[in-house]
């Protein structure tokens, strides 16, 4: 490519020098009137006439050169642009990470979930949280990663993060369940509602706690854990009527519960509305 540029540059530079000289002299040439020139200046006039003719020829020569070199310049510009585009494509190809195959993603997620368990066993919450984030970068809808994050944030007493993670996890699960009966994910959804209610209770937002735990009970009416959580919220809110109703359901679902008598006493001491 360089071999084209050197002669072209020399030609263009020479033309520019000649053009500058001619343009500088043209006003004087235009003002010459041959019939009024004394004989002693004929030599100078002849030179000027020759220069004027040379200027006209140069203008024609310049136009010719433009017409001759224009295709070459266009071709060189086109070639340079094509090379530049190829360089950009190569750089983009080298810098852009290739998407992982689905089977590779699943394998990486599986390995990272094992890492999370290991870090949690070692009580290294920061490392476990980091790996959970890495999992979500691979699989944004990974339910296990969100579930682990909920526990990590609860352990760190970061209730807001735990609450928001649970709310997003519930959205994902609602789409998955979508009215199906007997689904494993339905049980997980119920647990998430109960956990969210528990987080609200830790934040002293007991009305929100009541609402979410009720949703858990709606999904699994005979779950002793959910009924027990709901009963405690009813007692905190001094809702005696609902507490009595839930106590009856808990008694039927978990008749061996040794705290039933104590709970009954708490309910009886609630004020009547």
Q: Is the pLDDT of residue 29 over 50?
A: no
| Burial call 159-186: b when 16+ CB within 10 Å, e when fewer | eebbbebbeebbebbeebbeeeeeeebb
pLDDT in tens, 189-244: 999 999 999 999 999 999 999 999 999 999 999 999 999 999 999 999 999 999 99
Q: What is the pTM of this model?
A: 0.62
pLDDT tier for residue 34 given thresholds of 50, 70 and 90: very low
CATH of domain 178-273: 1.25.40.10
Residue with tokens 């950009």: 88
Q: State the pLDDT at residue 157.
A: 95
Q: State the pLDDT at residue 6.
A: 55
Q: Is the pLDDT of residue 33 over 60?
A: no
Out of 96-100, 130-134, 243-247, least confident range: 96-100
Q: Average pLDDT for residues 36-60, to the nearest whole number?
A: 60
CA angle 13, 14, 18 (to 5 degrees): 120
């Amino acid at each position: 490519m360089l071999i084209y540029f050197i002669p072209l540059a020399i030609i263009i530079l020479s033309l520019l020098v000649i053009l500058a000289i001619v343009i500088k002299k043209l006003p004087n040439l235009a003002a010459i009137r041959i019939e009024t020139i004394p004989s002693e200046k004929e030599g100078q006039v002849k030179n000027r006439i020759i220069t004027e003719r040379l200027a006209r020829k140069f203008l024609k020569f310049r136009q010719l050169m433009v017409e001759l070199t224009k295709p070459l310049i266009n071709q060189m510009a086109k070639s340079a642009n094509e090379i530049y585009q190829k360089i950009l494509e190569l750089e983009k190809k080298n810098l852009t990470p290739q998407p992982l195959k689905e089977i590779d993603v699943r394998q990486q997620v599986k390995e990272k979930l094992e890492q999370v368990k290991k870090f949690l066993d070692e009580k290294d919450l920061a490392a476990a949280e980091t790996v959970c984030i890495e999992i979500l970068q691979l699989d944004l809808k990974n339910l296990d990663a969100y579930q682990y994050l909920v526990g990590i944030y609860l352990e760190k007493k970061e209730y807001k993060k735990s609450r928001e993670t649970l709310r997003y996890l519930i959205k994902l699960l609602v789409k998955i369940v979508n009215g199906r009966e007997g689904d494993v994910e339905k049980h997980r959804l119920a647990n998430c509602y109960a956990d969210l209610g528990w987080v609200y209770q830790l934040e002293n937002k007991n009305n929100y706690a009541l609402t979410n735990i009720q949703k858990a009970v709606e999904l699994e009416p005979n779950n002793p854990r959910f009924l027990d959580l709901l009963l405690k919220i009813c007692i905190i809110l001094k809702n005696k009527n609902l507490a009595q109703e839930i106590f009856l359901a808990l008694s039927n679902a978990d008749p061996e519960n040794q705290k039933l008598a104590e709970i009954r006493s708490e309910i009886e001491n609630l004020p009547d509305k």
